[in-house]
Amino acid sequence: MNDIIRLLQAHRSERSYKPDPIPDEILDEIIESAHRAPTSINTQTTSIVVIKDAERRKRISEITGGQPWVAKAPVFLTLVADLNKTRVGLEKRGATQQIQHSLEGVIASTVDVGIALGTLIVAARSFGLGIVPIGAIRRDPQAMIDLLELPEYTFPVVGIAMGYVEEPATQKPRLPIESFRHNECYQAENLRPAIDAYDLRLSEYWKQIGRSDGISWSENTADKYSLVYFPKVKPVAAKQGFTCED
């Protein structure tokens, strides 16, 4: 196992941070790494808003439902699906952008954001930093848009809190590999046994770390996926120009 594989396989989401600032030269290297990540047909439809200001981080903590680590981490990055950038490029060519009206445009731009997010995670951890991705910025996307002054044809997809770790987290077990890796074709018959085994394993994990409020994977997922848990996403995305008509 090489150092990169060891780093990747030791991943855990950290939610306890020291107040120590991240040196600018380290943050620059992390962001440049994400800037160099691959994008669909070189459209580069991701932008990153760097938030260091304590009051802004406090406001984002409120937007995300009161997550204290968002306010405590010295840096918060917001990853934005940015079709305003491409719109400006099309205007230079005398063309009118249409991709924001398609599901393909939404998928392609959010995949690019995901690639950038993964790159940021690895780059940050390579410098000894802890991170936790924050999808709850979509809990109130309009508030994030207003706070960050995002233009039309942009959407805040995900955030990431970043800093030096105060109290290291434990690594949470994953679903069995059979639920993730499918050889040659999708093997649906493996899913239920894998989920059954994982529910038991996760329950044991909660006991081991002293979490009396921990629930099984299937229960947690049912709580979230039996409803649209961030209902403001679709209307705000449409307001920003992402209409998914095609």
Per-residue confidence (pLDDT) for residue 246, from 0 to 100: 82
pLDDT tens digits for range 114-163: 999 999 999 999 999 999 999 999 999 999 999 999 999 999 999 999 99
| Residue 154 backbone dihedrals phi, psi, to 5 degrees | -130, 155
Is residue 42 within 8 A of residue 96, CB to CB? The reply is no
191 within domain boundaries: no
Cα–Cα dist 68/72, whole Å:
6
Residue 35 falls within a domain, yes or no?
yes
Q: What is the CATH number of the domain that holds 76?
A: 3.40.109.10
Q: In the 8-state DSSP scheme, what is residue 35?
A: H
State residue 244's pLDDT score: 86
> Which helix (H) or strand (E) is 83 found in, with range?
helix 83-92
DSSP 215-238: --HHHHHHHHHTS-S-TTHHHHHH
* Average pLDDT rounded to a whole number, residues 73-94: 98
Q: Is residue 87, in this structure, part of any structural domain at all?
A: yes
Residue 167 is predicted with a pLDDT of 96
pLDDT of residue 134: 98
Q: Which of 64, 81, 82, 86 is nearest to 73 (CA)?
A: 64
Residue 69 tokens, joined: 């680590």
Domain assignment of residue 94, yes or no: yes
- Residue 60: name the closest of 138, 171, 169, 152 by CA: 138
The pLDDT, as a whole number, for residue 245 is 84
For residue 208, tell me if it sits in a domain.
Answer: no
For 243, phi then psi, to 5°, come to -100, -20
Helix (H, G, I), strand (E, B) or coil at 207: helix
pLDDT tens profile 94-124 = 999 999 999 999 999 999 999 999 999 999 9
219 lies in some domain = no
Helix (H, G, I), strand (E, B) or coil at 175: coil
What six digits make up the tokens of 63?
Answer: 């937007």
Q: What pLDDT, on the 0 to 100 scale, is given for residue 46?
A: 98
The answer to the question of residue 196 being in a domain is no
Q: pLDDT over 70 for what percent of the chain?
A: 100
Whether 88 is in a domain gets the answer yes
pLDDT digits (tens, 9 = 90+) for 45-74: 999 999 999 999 999 999 999 999 999 999
* pLDDT 10s digits, 170-185: 999 999 999 999 999 9
211 CB-contact burial (10 Å; exposed 0-12 / middle 13-18 / buried 19+): exposed
Total domains present in the chain: 1
Q: What is the pTM of this model?
A: 0.95
Domain range for 235 is 3-170+228-239
Beta-bridged to residue 25, according to DSSP, are none
